Structure 1
Amino acid sequence: MDGNGRWAQARGRPRLFGHHAGARRVREIVEACPSNGVKYLTIFAFSTENWKRTQIEVAGLMSLFRRYILKEMQDFVKRNVRVRFIGDRVRLDEKLRGLMDEAEELTAHCTGTNLTIALNYGGRDEVARATHRLAQDVAAGKLDPNKVDEETLPKYLDTHVLPDPDLVIRTSGEARISNFLLWQSAYAEYEFIDTLWPDFSAEEFHTLVSGYGGRDRRFGAVTA
């Protein structure tokens, strides 16, 4: 969800103003998922590299995340949205971690849209943490190293209960994936668009999802 800061600066406002506008946009896209046949939506809210930003911006984002979860929690239940979080929670403050746990528990029974929020997430960090857990199981005798293959590691990833993404949308004109779901997106389709996230509408979302529906996904094979 890139471009919040630039969106705000273009309007002569502080970067956090853009982040608040971006948070409001999330609701519109989540609400648009059912009508577009989207069962799983993962949003990249804060990366492991975002700690490099100014202390004021990071603190503002953490406050925004707390308020967003608290404000939206009951609406998630009403809209039958199941919420999950991926990423390393250790560095996050205790209050935020508690709200994340509460949101996951409160929506665990929901059967509609599956909303996954990547918070303090990085693809390389995820793979490193997964490999560490896998190595611990090998050392403890719980896992035979000779049976480790490409089907084994995904069981240790943060996304082990989720399907791999079919479509990855990167807003704001940047043509890179920025450490997002590196393992899981090996065969995803990509859309790099110029739209800044606060301007990304349900109509544009529909257009991209419809376009994805017409793609020929061969996964390395040849169409007969």
Structure 2
Amino acid sequence: MPKWLRRRFTDAYERMLRRQLEAAPTHVAIIQDGNRRYARERGADAPDGHREGAKTTERVLDWCEELGIEELTLYAFSTENFDRPDEELEPLFDLLESKLYEFADADRVHENGVRIGAIGDVERLPARVRDAVDYAESRTAEYDSLRLNVALAYGGRSELLGAARTVADEVAAGELSPDEVDADAVEDRLAEHTTRDVDLIIRTGGDERTSNFLPWHANGNEAAVYFCAPYWPEFSKVDFLRGLRTYQAREQSWQQSRTERAVGILRAVAETELADAKTVAGRLRTQLPSAGAREVSAELERQRGAEAGERAD
């Protein structure tokens, strides 16, 4: 297929996907996998793949701003990455440093109100990368239109263990009562820059696992997951929109399940007392999307009609 025709086909497909999307997720988290394999298949070194991947990161930030996504978390460097050889790590640290400074000074970041924050065991990183993190966070601290969380030296289990240790220390010091230890207490002591539950995790590169990424904010929220084959440097807007479509399909299925459960509860209550069913229906309607609320109302009317018919008999 000629390049110009492929481009026209891709543009048309993008428009179709956009039309199918009713609403974007609030918080998207991405595992940027495949930089090294991308480079290796092209006879290049790993740092070349990381540099190409950084270009994709910039495009994804543009897509989030365009689609109204409020929070983006990128898995840039895991705790396991420290095991890589120095000849790969040093250029990667150089890239992280330069991109953090570049993003912090970019006009579009300030024009669009992007707040940059790092999550993870940042103290394990070289001083120059920590300085870049401090610079990016301080330069964008007043913004909140779009939060960009960069996971650096990050591991989900380590994050949870850190929060648990903090809670234990505060209880031991008498600063926190054991009765106050609940989900909110733990969440308050997790990474400060991750502010919302994750709606969608995207992983590139073909692997189908979430690799210890945001277990509290993603698993606890039953986030949708989209695995795709392209390496991170090849990740396209079509791939991104497909991921958002996966989230939308999951939300629609979840909402339908909630509606079916609500109607089932209403039927069970109405079997014994219609007055109680009216009270239950009122509560359920406030907890469901508009379509589900209409189904509950329709079921209540059906129950009323059935009762009226029995009285007439």
* TM-score, length of structure 1 as denominator length: 0.93
Q: Which residue of 2 aligns with 1:203?
A: 238
Trace 1:131-210 onto structure 2 (pairs within 5 A).
131-159=164-192, 162-186=195-219, 187-210=222-245
Q: Which moved more, 1:127-136 or 1:18-27?
A: 127-136
- The SS at the match of 2:134 is helix
Q: Which residue of 2 aligns with 1:95?
A: 128
Which is greater in Rg?
2
Trace 1:42-61 onto structure 2 (pairs within 5 A).
42-61=73-92
**Which structure 2 segments of 5+ residues have no match?**
1-31, 261-313
Decide which structure has greater helix share. 2
Q: 1:168, 1:189 within 8 Å by CA — same for their partners in 2?
A: yes
Q: Which residue of 1 aligns with 2:302?
A: none
* TM-score, length of structure 2 as denominator length: 0.68
**How far is 1:49 from its partner?**
0.7
Q: 2:200, 2:225 within 8 Å by CA — same for their partners in 1?
A: yes
Q: Which residue of 1 aligns with 2:95?
A: 64
| Counterpart Cα distance in 1 of 2:150 and 2:167 | 24
Q: Which runs of 4+ in 1 moved over 6 A?
A: none
Equivalent position to 2:147, from 96, 114, 120: 114
| Counterpart Cα distance in 2 of 1:105 and 1:133 | 25
Which amino acid letter does the alignment assign opposite residue 34 of structure 2? G
CA deviations 1:46-78 (Å, max 9, x no partner) are 000111111111111111101111222111223
Which amino acid letter does the alignment assign opposite residue 64 of structure 1? L
The higher-RCO structure (CA 8 Å, 6+ apart) is: 1
Which amino acid letter does the alignment assign opposite residue 20 of structure 1? R
Q: Which residue of 2 aligns with 1:81?
A: 114
Q: 1:154, 1:160 within 8 Å by CA — same for their partners in 2?
A: no
Which amino acid letter does the alignment assign opposite residue 214 of structure 2? L
**How far is 1:31 from its partner?**
0.6
CA deviations 1:147-187 (Å, max 9, x no partner) are 31223211111146510100000111101111100111111
> In angstroms, what is the RMSD of aligned CA positions?
1.7
Number of residues of Structure 1 aligned to a counterpart in Structure 2: 223
